[in-house]
């Protein structure tokens, strides 16, 4: 394994946030508030959707288009998720798709479960290859969020949670629970796509890579768990393609298209999906012969 230098900023912030998350649990034990609990759930939904629907399905893979207020919403609560700017997140993710399971893959599962889950975040990453996200640099909101990322993150992840908490009589609960406890839970939910979704589940559409479909990770990540389908058809705005697949992000994007907030939703044909499934089946039959 190549030697990487520890990123002390990321490492210390991760440690600090986990401690603050524990403090949030303690605070809830002694100052239980349904209002704070529901605010944390609401923030988790806003931030989770901004990663899945925004950072992932809109910015990393332009599977649909959205009007500017929704893009700004995604950028604000995506920043509050403290997973880097949309530009950097998308660059990493596009590299992951281009080099899945290879050395260039930032969260290569072949380097181990914990590396893919959180280890890669602790080490310094190479500079962004701007050419891989040149399309995103045409969006002034994305550029602004990348330039002033810390301010966006503080506003969405600290200031607004404290203000919301103060409005229900508990600014400290807003900071500790809505801000940090929510953040830590969300981190591990999101990180499970890089780790769990490359280890556990089925592979109905592609057996060349490690990505897998799992309803467990779909629950944790607002529908991102159908990862085998996603890696095979990254240009589809859906992850869960059947009516019974849990994919709240898909439902949100589709619903927004009905009021013209989103448009040009891309989806792969049923014929292409069936061809992929048939190809996998043939490979399995050939492998067992």
Number of domains in the chain: 1
**Residue 3 belongs to a domain:** no
Phi and psi at residue 65, to the nearest 5°: -115, 155
pLDDT in tens, 170-203: 999 999 999 999 999 999 999 999 999 999 999 9
- pLDDT category, 126, cuts 50, 70, 90? confident
**What per-residue confidence (pLDDT) applies to 238?**
97
pTM (2 d.p.): 0.95
**Residue 58 belongs to a domain:** yes
pLDDT in tens, 251-274: 999 999 999 999 999 999 999 999
- The residue segments making up the domain with residue 93 are 8-288
Mean residue pLDDT of the chain comes to 95
**Residue 225 belongs to a domain:** yes
**Residue 221 belongs to a domain:** yes
Q: Stretch 142-169: mean pLDDT, rounded? A: 98
pLDDT at 128 over 90: no
pLDDT at 1 over 60: no
Q: Among 1-10, 17-26, 108-117, 215-224, where is mean pLDDT lowest?
A: 1-10
**Residue 2 belongs to a domain:** no
**Residue 1 belongs to a domain:** no
**What per-residue confidence (pLDDT) applies to 127?**
83
pLDDT in tens, 208-228: 999 999 998 999 899 999 999
């Amino acid at each position: 394994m190549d030697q990487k230098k520890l990123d002390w900023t990321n490492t210390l912030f991760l440690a600090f946030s986990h401690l603050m998350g524990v403090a949030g649990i303690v605070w809830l034990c002694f100052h239980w508030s349904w209002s704070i609990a529901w605010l944390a759930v609401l923030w988790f939904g806003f931030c989770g959707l901004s990663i899945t629907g925004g950072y992932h399905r809109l910015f990393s893979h332009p599977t649909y288009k959205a009007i500017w207020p929704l893009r700004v919403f995604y950028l604000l609560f995506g920043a509050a998720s403290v997973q880097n700017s949309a530009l950097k997140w998308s660059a990493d993710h596009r590299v992951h798709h281009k080099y899945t399971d290879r050395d260039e893959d930032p969260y290569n599962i072949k380097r181990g479960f914990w590396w893919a889950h959180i280890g890669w975040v602790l080490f310094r990453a190479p500079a962004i290859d701007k050419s891989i996200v040149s399309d995103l640099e045409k969006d002034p909101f994305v550029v602004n969020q990348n330039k002033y990322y810390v301010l966006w993150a503080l506003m969405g992840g600290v200031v607004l949670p404290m203000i919301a908490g103060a409005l229900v009589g508990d600014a400290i609960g807003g900071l500790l629970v809505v801000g940090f406890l929510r953040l830590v839970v969300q981190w591990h939910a999101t990180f499970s796509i890089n780790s769990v979704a490359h280890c556990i589940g089925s592979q109905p559409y592609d057996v060349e890579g490690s990505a897998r479909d799992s309803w467990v990770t779909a629950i944790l990540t607002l529908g991102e768990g159908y990862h085998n389908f996603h890696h095979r058809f990254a240009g589809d705005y859906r992850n869960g393609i059947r009516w019974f697949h849990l994919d709240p992000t898909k439902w949100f994007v589709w619903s927004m298209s009905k009021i013209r907030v989103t448009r040009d939703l891309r989806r792969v044909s049923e014929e292409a999906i069936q061809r992929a499934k048939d190809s996998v089946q043939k490979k399995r039959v050939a492998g067992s012969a």
